[in-house]
Amino acid sequence: MPCSLGDDQMIDETETVLFARSGAVAIITLNRPEQRNAVNGTLAEELRKAVIRFESDASLRVAILTGQGRTFCAGMDLAAFLEGQGDAILFGEGRFAGFVDAERSKPIIAAVEGAAIAGGMELTLACDMIVAGTSAYFGLPEVAVGIFPVAGGAFRLARKIPPAKAMQVCLTAQRISAQEGLAFGLVNELVPDGEALTKAMILAECIARNASRAVEAAYTINRRVALKNEAEMWALSEELWGPSQVQLTHLRVLRPSKRNANLCGQTKRQIHEASKSGLSSPQVLGHF
């Protein structure tokens, strides 16, 4: 749960995203705690605007992305997807959540408490550094319900951790603990639960104290390396997503009939496996 940042913070609140500042640091908070900060169309648009606000303010040097409540982000809100918000959530400006492929020139640190799964993990992979509480965990459980990580996870994870481990995570839907994330190099700092935002602020302030032009140059080079060949990977992901999303719409089936009994039985097994992989009932299928 995000902590207080001191008397100098100024908070502007929207329905789904909070934007605050402390000195040269922006704090962007996903604010749908009752939905485990799942991304719907509104949140995607507000997060996109928050990133633009951060980028356009020359007095802000670093941003922190965090989540309100006990979960960082449980990914896409499936109910919103089924209501027709899929394009806004996944393929609007900046792609998923208006964030994972946003144009940026300044560093963003993810402060993670609790679960960062599916699209939630892909948000962390789009950040430049990760600070995590000891009970935090990460995962890409999409394959357990017949889809795949379309928001960058399928190719970015292999750039952050050993490729063989990334392959295992993507194909088995197994989750990564914060401790494993630190060992693999996914997580920069591991802290006691409840202190991720505090540590992220310390890291951000350390960056902000350094010479702005030097930081900008070093960041530009590092980011260009990190994003190398991504255009090709995005194109491939979106090409393969078409057949995958058909399976996602099947998850709407609630009552078995002779025609869909086998599908419902399969879906129940997938829900069970996804739950074991990191998603918690009753919202297992609510967030990808």
Element (H, E) at 169: helix 163-172
Element (H, E) at 221: helix 212-226
- For residues 122 and 109, is the Cβ–Cβ distance under 8 A? no
53 token code pair? 């606000």
13 is catalytic: no
205 is catalytic: no
User: If DSSP states are collapsed to H, E and C, what string results for 80-96?
Assistant: HHHHHHHHHHHCCCCCH
Residue of 142, 180, 232, 273 with catalytic role: 142
Residue of 45, 46, 113, 122 with catalytic role: 122
Supply the residues annotated as catalytic: 122, 142
